[in-house]
Structure 1
Amino acid sequence: MSETAPGVRGGFPQIKPAEHAPAGLGRFVAAMRRLQDLAVCTDSSSWDAAAEHVERACAVLDGHQVPEGVAPGGRVLELPGLGHPLLPPWLVTDSGPDGVNMDGYFSRAHVGGNNAVHGGMIPLFYDWLFGMVVSTAGCPPTRTAFLHVDYRNVTPIDEPLTARGRIAGVDGRKFFVAASMTAADGTLLSEANGLMVRLLPHQP
């Protein structure tokens, strides 16, 4: 079989979107995001009491771990951030071979300074978007080879934003991806381009 044949997956597991969001997962992830926001903007004498609540939540979930591709977190398309609490709360609004559109926002937990989104959060978002672009286009599993971001304007928190990504070119196993993020008024906030490389049979 050719190393670029459609069925070649390397050592990458077959991971599909979850068929539905389990009851309570959306509520739990929203609470986790709120907790992350509060953790970086709170000055309180109640840290020990708050830690006890978090530790009890951990105890409720501990013992129910399942393998990658089985746990719903990170695979639920209808939940912001795919139901993954570390991804920013964005939703896929349109997807297909021509690209992926996403709407969402960043919150206090993503601040780098002066109420602007931390510069490192932007590449995290784009890497996620690039992965959605190639998977939606039906490409076999890829890994990020490089990701370049041009910051055009300060990215604000708690404001509606839009992003779009597309495959800009293909060269054998190489998928070149381009994307941009804009504010509600159309202001260009950042642009990104990257290279996603299709895995070889022996690559994880």
Structure 2
Amino acid sequence: AAVDAAVERIAAELGGPTVVVNNAGIIRDNLLFKMTVDDWDAVMAVHLRGSFNTVKAAQKHMVEAKFGRIVNLSSTSALGNRGQANYSAAKAGLQGYTKTLAIELGKFGVTANAIAPGFIQTDMTAATAERIGVPFDDFIKFSAEQIPVQRVGQPDDIAHTASFLVSEGAGFVSGQVIYVAGGPKD
């Protein structure tokens, strides 16, 4: 109800939304045998239910406008990552969800794509370094050495990709997962 109300307020005050970027995310990392149902459910609720609620509320405005852009933030963790069964499943789920949105909404001029970032230097990755007891600068240096372009990503790397995907120029790009990770991650 809160999402529906927010989207309707946006529509009333600014016009119907034709761009949605689902970027909300949390982590509740733990090995499977230690992971709680609450940790599982919290991650699913934010990543999947949140994206579902937002797109469901906004899509009618996109269909009416015959133009829309949906960008869901996935992760390279969708390919699997130790201690992230919940996060990996949620991010993989977002990829399937994105492809389905592209199929269902494409005939209305709406594209849906996902961005799957690799290591991006953010507060979340800083918290991960702290949790595992590694100085953030060391964590960044080690991670950069594993990435073909020899650096970690910055938030602007993701912003530039999202900017393209929401542009008119990306009208023939839909149902794609773009890995922004400094090199191949498969």
TM-score of the superposition, structure 2-length normalised?
A: 0.29
TM-score of the superposition, structure 1-length normalised?
A: 0.27
Task: Please state which structure has a larger fraction of its residues in strand.
Answer: 1
Rg larger in 1 or in 2? 1
Task: Please state which structure has a larger fraction of its residues in helix.
Answer: 2
